[in-house]
Amino acid sequence: MFGTKPWIGLLPVFPVGLIVALGLARNAEQESVTAQSSAAAIEEQELATPEFDGSGELVSTDDDDAQATPAWPRRYRVDGDDLAGELELHEDGRVEVRGRTFGGKHAEGEPFAFSGSRADDGGVQLEQPVKPKKGIRYFLDGLDGERDEPEPVRTSLNVADDGTLAGTLLEREVKATPAAETDDLIALVIPGLSTNIWNQYGIPYLDENLGVFAAYGIAAERVDINTEAGVAENAATIASAIRAAVERGQRVLLFAHSKGGADTVTALSDPANQDLLPHVAGFVAIQPVYAGARISDGIESGELIEHIARIRSERIGKVAEQAVRKVTDAAFEHLLPLINLKEKDGSAAAWRDLRTADRQAALAEHPFPVERIPTVTVRSSMSGRKLLKMQMPDGERKFRMGKNALRTPLVVFQRFITSRYGEANDGMVSLEAQAIPGALADVVYEDLDHFEPGVRGESAITPTRLTQDALERVLPLLKPAVPARD
């Protein structure tokens, strides 16, 4: 899953990862924590679908004139297990389905297409041509003129009780629901700490999420931030990306993970960027470092190294505390830029800006204008997972360095945050600190670690599923385009 360089998975937590390696022997006895299915942890709540005017203020949705008959083609969002796509229903009865399946060898998904027609009962009949397997038999049959072409794959989607379309597609149960208008929308995807290095070395971080956007026919691009830089620098880059999209006449959906959430909140909170807010149609914050990261607090206070190495001497603890801070600073300022194939600069602010005191001071100075931006949060904690015996997707329970190296530190960090602060967490950020007050929707998973939103792991919540859940919540909430001025 991580290519031929599994050691690269430790880069985002490199300084502390070194400490973890030294302290593994001291963590042999770990408590067992049970968790409910993460799928059942999604909060069930009925959400109104507000409309926004050009200034970002909420307006009434009771006006019947606003409910215009949708133009052709009529679009549906198609969702299934590791499947995402779009269905277009044309006025003449033609039907087209395009999308991608996930979970195979390509993280961005495998494309598929069906075509067909609308049935008299409102359902749709679909078929997909099948390419013949060209081998020696295919060649010999052609010489005799008796070659049999394979029959196309045929299926149908029927009208369900709730008015949606449901059926089977590519051996998966799927559901098609009316889709929001997204032709003028672009999703700007903002990655987390040090993750530009992940992608450079073969870890497909956020590739699957971007594939889901493509399957839905929604334009999306990764914002080219320096993920080893501080919050202020990245916020400026994000603001520039939003401004460029606005100049192209696009509405913007922001989709940010981890530190990318803090970077995005800072960009939107900056008084210099208030002119951009009417054009930000929505914001999905996934495990955002909103109120602070306990791991950064632990590095600053020295409590993390004391927890890992079981240091009991105050003098040794002080020396270790200073050493960890210096090593962490040096890693972001010198080591990670050396490994980075693109960015040659880094900053200690990358981790220091995430300390709880720093985040709360920033929010106090410039509060996040959540009332002007439809915001959906995706938060999680992770169940206690055995350090050297993790549950793999194929059901086995064994240690595999290539698959577990990325997540081994998270188990240690999760234990530290739980024991020191008594807070549920995803191995990096407390569940409570991920919350954005005033968000219109809040999706919560109970068994999802801090890396799994962008890279498949042992959780049943895959990047595809998470992205589908998030978009299901945010798309109906999107602000319309700002009317053009005469």
Output 59 or 267, whichever has higher pLDDT. Answer: 267
Among 57-61, 182-186, 213-217, name the one with the lowest average pLDDT: 57-61
Cis peptide bond N-terminal to 480, omega within 30 = no
CB 261 within 8 A of CB 289: yes
Which residues have CB under 8 Å from 167's CB, separation 6+? 123, 155, 156, 157, 158, 173, 174
Over residues 17-39, mean pLDDT: 35
Per-residue pLDDT at 434: 98
Over residues 172-179, mean pLDDT: 96
Per-residue pLDDT at 175: 96
Helix (H, G, I), strand (E, B) or coil at 104: coil
153-159 vs 172-178, strand pairing mode: unpaired
Tens digit of each residue's pLDDT (9 = 90 or more) over 180-206: 899 999 999 999 999 999 999 999 999
- Tell me how long the chain is: 486
Report the percent of the chain where pLDDT is more than 90: 67
Helices assigned H by DSSP within 169-288: 195-200, 207-215, 231-247, 259-269
Chain-wide mean pLDDT for the chain? 83
Per-residue pLDDT at 18: 37
> Around Cβ 135, how many Cβ atoms within 10 Å?
8
Which residues have CB under 8 Å from 396's CB, separation 6+? none
Output 449 or 163, whichever has higher pLDDT. Answer: 449
Over residues 151-165, mean pLDDT: 91
d(CA 479, CA 51) in angstroms, rounded, equals 6
Is residue 462's pLDDT more than 60?
Answer: yes
Among 3-12, 148-157, 453-462, name the one with the lowest average pLDDT: 3-12
Helix (H, G, I), strand (E, B) or coil at 330: helix
Among 31-35, 172-176, 262-266, name the one with the lowest average pLDDT: 31-35
For residue 332, what is the DSSP state? I
Per-residue pLDDT at 308: 87
Is residue 116's pLDDT more than 80?
Answer: yes
Confidence of residue 19 (pLDDT cuts 50, 70, 90): very low
Tell me where in the chain the CATH 3.40.50.1820 domain(s) lie: 6-48+181-477
Output 46 or 131, whichever has higher pLDDT. Answer: 131
Per-residue pLDDT at 311: 82
Cα torsion 257, 262, 266, 269 to 10°: value is 80
Over residues 66-90, mean pLDDT: 86
Over residues 296-315, mean pLDDT: 90
Per-residue pLDDT at 28: 34
Write down the residue that tokens 């022997």 correspond to.
25
Write down the residue that tokens 């955002």 correspond to.
288
Confidence of residue 138 (pLDDT cuts 50, 70, 90): low
Per-residue pLDDT at 409: 80
Over residues 1-26, mean pLDDT: 39
Output 396 or 18, whichever has higher pLDDT. Answer: 396
Confidence of residue 229 (pLDDT cuts 50, 70, 90): very high
* Cut 0.85: pTM above it: no
Per-residue pLDDT at 36: 35
Is residue 387's pLDDT more than 90?
Answer: no
d(CA 38, CA 446) in angstroms, rounded, equals 5
Over residues 263-288, mean pLDDT: 98
**For helices 463-474 and 207-215, angle between their N-to-C axes, nearest 10 degrees:** 50
Per-residue pLDDT at 384: 55
Confidence of residue 141 (pLDDT cuts 50, 70, 90): low
SS3 content of the chain, % helix, strand, coil (to 5): 40, 20, 40
Is residue 340's pLDDT more than 70?
Answer: yes
Over residues 449-471, mean pLDDT: 95
Tens digit of each residue's pLDDT (9 = 90 or more) over 319-335: 899 999 999 999 999 99
Among 27-31, 280-284, 398-402, name the one with the lowest average pLDDT: 27-31
Among 136-150, 176-190, 358-372, name the one with the lowest average pLDDT: 136-150
Confidence of residue 147 (pLDDT cuts 50, 70, 90): low
Output 393 or 91, whichever has higher pLDDT. Answer: 91
Per-residue pLDDT at 331: 95
Per-residue pLDDT at 62: 45
Is residue 280's pLDDT more than 90?
Answer: yes
Is residue 55's pLDDT more than 50?
Answer: no
Please report, for residues 49, 83, 129, 414, 465, the alpha-carbon distance to residue 110 in angstroms, rounded to integers and kept in the order given: 33, 9, 16, 34, 16
Per-residue pLDDT at 405: 56
Per-residue pLDDT at 6: 36
Task: Classify domain 6-48+181-477 at the CATH topology level.
Answer: Rossmann fold (3.40.50)
Is residue 414's pLDDT more than 50?
Answer: yes
